[in-house]
A and B are shown apart, each in its own frame.
Chain A
């Protein structure tokens, strides 16, 4: 076989595999699909089913190809949404567990951390833990204010 044909075959295989996107792309697609499904359940008045879909998302193993920063963003967003759904169902203890799980992935100065701090504050408030709630609200405000200042001064890219 000629070398050029070997090269063509290799290129074809590499392009085909690269075009498939791999497990990381699949995970991102599945996460987006889970949110879309959860949206539909919420609109249909079935928050418990929406929570199940998102719970499944956060329980799935994350492919090694996903950057740590993106992994955290996707999971923290899902945890914040789960906490919000639990709060909507008057289940602050469950909301607290979700918020804690999300924050355990690490905190950064971004909207995901701010949302989780807010959710945890709400959960503490629902459980009558006002001091803890106040601490979380304050932390959420510090992040949100810093981001707002950045956005207003045109330096908002994360």
Chain B
């Protein structure tokens, strides 16, 4: 048999009664609360703290003070998400629509002369044509870059 299963003693009954009275607010100054002084003190503290609980209004005020500039307009709502989705869809469609062609620079005369020189049987190596084409290619890609923008 454990100590919990034993019948309470007279002293224990008295302590429990005093404690119950104290918790119910029925304790009077003349009562003998000495044996349960600590428990009574704790009971008073509990009761006092219940009275000091934060009301909803006060809680909101504390939150406002903690986060004074909450950006509510950034909070996701169905409307905002739909608007963003629509913007993304429009941008995706716009980026998929073919651009107007770039205005490519006119081929320089030395390049055309090199092409004429290379387009005949037994002509020497294509080195000159390649050099002229390299220079022209740079201009072409600069024009394409202006038309299509730069990828980030």
Contact = CB atoms under 8 A, between A and B. Distances in A.
Interface of A: 1-2, 5-6, 9-10, 13-14, 17-26, 28-29, 31-32, 35, 39, 63-70, 73-74, 77, 80-81, 84, 87-88, 110-111, 114-115, 117-118, 121-122, 125, 130, 133-134, 136-138, 140-141, 144-145, 147-148, 150-152, 156-158
Instruction: Give the interface size bracket for B toward A.
Output: 35 or more
Interface of A is mostly: helix
B148 to A, nearest CB: 4
Contact of B95 (A17, A118, A150): A17
A29 to B, nearest CB: 5
Contacts of B77: 1
Nearest to A17: B91
Contacts of B111: 111
A24 B115 contact: no
A151 B73 contact: no
Interface in B126-152: 126, 129-130, 133-134, 136-137, 140-141, 144-145, 147-152
A20 B88 contact: no
Given A9-B83, A18-B91, A122-B126, A25 B98 contact: no
